[in-house]
Structure 1
Amino acid sequence: MSKIRKSTPPIGNLSISQAKQLAEQKAKELINFSFKYLDGIHQKFCYHPHSNTYFVEVLDRVKNLSALTKQELLSNRSPSLKAHPINWTDTTESCFGFPKETDIVDIPYQFSINRNEHGRVHGFFIYNTFYVVWLDKMHNLYS
């Protein structure tokens, strides 16, 4: 006898209570990281000249942040993390510059790798996945 699987309804057909429950569940999920949109050849954010030590610092930060939820990351006011939205009008760039960006990116964010020594990571969230776009060791986004 085969088992019948109940399918979950699409998001658009959820009741209000189901939508709230789904949102609460998503808020409790830990952050994932993706490098799908990583731009390592951008003139200002090229990561090829950086040392192995730099990448160890980046991976350590990503590992540590993977223990947080998106809400925990964005509400954290630690001076060593400095996680916040990017306001393009305050930067040297007007956007990330990849195809269909306006359809994909709602709010660009950044966080520090550590206290000013190794720069920032710039990217955006889709649900609980942070898509890394630029590794900005030299703080070039704001200079």
Structure 2
Amino acid sequence: MPPELKNRIVVNENSYNSKKPVVTKSRPEQKYWSFSFKYFREIEYFGVGDKNASWFISVLDKLKDMCNYDIDSFLANATIKQASRYHKINWEQKNIPLAREDFNWIDKSIIQNDDEFPFVQFQISKSLGRVVGFWYESIFYIVILDPMHNIQPAKSYNYAVDKTKIADNDYTSLLMDIDKIRRISCNHDCNIYKELCLIPTKMNTSNFYYFSLEDDYYAEFTEKIKDKSITELIELGIASL
């Protein structure tokens, strides 16, 4: 509730001629749904790279609709929860493609405490998938989107788990473009200029990993890499294992 509405000044017939207006307190502040994407990530079986604009609009519309619910009232209403397909994630579900421990980018204090921070889901719609996350205080933290209903494989679909496509953002796509150009040998048929003209391609779908190094390691890394690309260096490292 907006702060300006917490204490409303009401002037009625009895108070109209009074020197002081009658002040009435509003009802206790309600806590409505709100969302955070702090821990959101795309992972295998939970990518959204092949979803069109209407699907994303459906997700946003659903989040907007959920924001109209008072949290306590929603959680106390079994009918509304059932209509929203709201329930805890069953980590023992047959064919479930991941475990709670796989969410290793989330704080350990949360992941290792299923009692206080259980993962739950609610539907975008019956056919468009689910939103998965957990509550922290009065904020719902979205961790994955589940367009293919993979988080709880259904018996009616023979517990099938369907592959999804992870979407590349512009930043990772640009880094991949640069790495590709670094691997080109500049000879008489050099086509680096042609490749540079195509940046950003925004069409890379290859596997991509991003990492950071402390200053000392970075200096050593740049010395050893020299004319090799990061991809070539990693490939050499893997081959030597």
Q: What TM-score does the superposition give when structure 1 sets the normalisation length?
A: 0.72
User: Would the aligned equivalents of 2:89 and 2:152 in 1 still touch at CA under 8 Å?
Assistant: no
Question: What do residues 73-119 of structure 1 show as CA deviations (whole Å, max 9, x unaligned)?
Answer: 334434441111112112332115133544125110100011x1111
CA 1:98/1:72 → structure 2, altered by over 3 Å: closer, same or farther?
farther
Residue 35 of structure 2: aligned partner: 33
1:104 aligns with 2:110: yes
Residue 45 of structure 2: aligned partner: 44
User: Would the aligned equivalents of 2:90 and 2:152 in 1 still touch at CA under 8 Å?
Assistant: no
1:133 aligns with 2:143: yes
Amino acid of the structure 2 residue aligned with 1:110: Q
Question: Could you list the runs of 5+ residues in structure 2 that have no partner in the other structure?
Answer: 1-27, 112-116, 154-241
Residue 158 of structure 2: aligned partner: none
Amino acid of the structure 2 residue aligned with 1:113: I
Larger RCO: 1 or 2 (CA < 8 Å, sep 6+):
1
Q: Deviation of residue 49 (structure 1)?
A: 1.3
Q: Secondary structure at the match of 1:64?
A: helix
1:83 aligns with 2:86: yes
Amino acid of the structure 1 residue aligned with 2:103: G
Q: Would you identify which runs of 4 or more consecutive aligned residues in structure 1 move more than 6 Å? A: none
CA 1:39/1:99 → structure 2, altered by over 3 Å: closer, same or farther?
closer
User: Would the aligned equivalents of 1:73 and 1:83 in 2 still touch at CA under 8 Å?
Assistant: no
CA RMSD of aligned residues (A): 2.0
Give, in whole Å, the separation in 1 of the partners of 2:68 and 2:129.
21
Residue 193 of structure 2: aligned partner: none
Larger-gyration structure (1/2):
2
Q: Secondary structure at the match of 1:132?
A: strand
